[in-house]
Amino acid sequence: MTDALAHTGDWAVAFLLVLGALFFLVAAVGVVRLPDALTRMHAATKAGTLGAGLMLLAASLAAGDLGVSVRAGAIFLFLLVTAPIGAHVIGRTVWGRQQARRLMTRETPE
């Protein structure tokens, strides 16, 4: 019984790692393929944070130690707090530059 449970845990860890890697891949493709900085920023922050969370969950399950799980949870909370702040700063900078460019070239807003 214990051996079957350990085997199931290994499959769960593998599934979480593959799913996290897929979210990282989606984030990378979004950064390369999306048309402007604001949508690229959105792809990087949302999919990247979710991918990192899944990888951290897989690491904490694989370790099976409370200390590792607490550290992985703290890292994920740090990502949840800092990713939106960084995205907001980047977004405001991009938006400000677009507005300045429109004013300097006398473009009409779209």
The larger pLDDT score, comparing residue 107 to residue 33, is at 33
Q: What is the DSSP letter of 1?
A: -
User: What does the alpha-carbon distance between residue 8 and residue 21 come to, in Å, rounded to a whole number?
Assistant: 20
User: Dihedrals φ, ψ of 106, to 5°?
Assistant: 60, 35
From the CA atom positions of the chain, what is the Rg in Å? 20
Cβ-contact 59, 68 below 8 angstroms: yes
pLDDT of residue 38: 82
Q: How confident is the model at residue 91 (pLDDT cuts 50, 70, 90)?
A: confident
Q: What is the pLDDT of residues 27-53, one digit of tens each?
A: 999 989 988 888 888 888 888 899 999
Mean pLDDT across the chain, nearest whole number? 86
- Judge whether residue 92 has pLDDT over 60: yes
pLDDT of residue 39: 85
- Judge whether residue 105 has pLDDT over 80: no
Q: What is the DSSP letter of 65?
A: -
- Judge whether residue 90 has pLDDT over 60: yes
Residue of 32, 33, 31 whose CA lies nearest to 44: 31
